[in-house]
Structure 1
Amino acid sequence: MKTTPFKPAYAGQLNFYLSAVDAQAKVAEDQPTIGLLSCKEKNRLVAEYSVRGIAKPMGVAEYQLMREVPESLETGLRSFDQI
């Protein structure tokens, strides 16, 4: 997760981490490693060009911060006291 807008260099950094996981932690029974990068903002075209030549599955998503948890999600979350 990045707290800044997406930059093309992030795709290379994520590819590095995926390669490291594949080389150091993955076993034969594991499914393909995928990468998902959440950024404060993204330009779809820049993100697409950044990951186009990379063979490993990657995605770039944009997130928004919220002051309150939506009611539909509150019922499934534990309170601080429960944690």
Structure 2
Amino acid sequence: IFMDQEYRLNVGASSFKADLLFFHRGLQALVAVELKKTKFHPRDLGQLEFYLEALDRDVKRSNENPSIGIILCPDADKVVVEYAMSRSMSPTMIAEYKRILIPQEQMQQQLREFCQFFLTEDKPKKK
């Protein structure tokens, strides 16, 4: 059982890197996650399916289930996703993510509260 960043896949004379690789105990399957910085494009699915095939042929053990793929992207046109997935036989999911930045003032306040909590807790109590 392993978890790694940029898991190297060697196929033929070429080397490829899956962004993240996990093993799901309950499903008994490898889970490859591709992180995209741009809107979903159908080529992303082709890339992930290639990685899943390489994992199933070269990494997966005989007692494990077929590998699962997840594509995380900041935006996806649902119709494009539907077309791209319509003939795919791979267990793959495409999901959008949202980047949420905490306002600087709020972060500073939380940091002050965190520091204050530990500063008051470490002091010996007077009787």
Bin of the TM-score, shorter chain as denominator length:
0.7 to 0.9
Q: 1:49 aligns with which of 66, 83, 107?
A: 83
Higher relative contact order (CA 8 A, sep 6+): 1
Root-mean-square deviation (CA), in Å? 0.9
Structure 1 segments unaligned to the other structure (5+ residues): 69-83
- Counting matched residue pairs gives 68
Structure 2 segments unaligned to the other structure (5+ residues): 1-34, 103-127
The alignment's TM-score, normalised by the length of structure 1, stands at: 0.76
Q: 1:33 aligns with which of 67, 82, 88?
A: 67
Shift, 1:32, TM fit: 2.1
The alignment's TM-score, normalised by the length of structure 2, stands at: 0.51
More strand by share: 2
1:11-59: per-residue Cα shift (whole Å, max 9, x none)? Answer: 1111001001001100111122110100110011111111221211111
Percent identity of paired positions between Structure 1 and Structure 2: 35
Alignment-mate amino acid for residue 28 of structure 1: S
Runs of 4 or more above 4 Å deviation = none
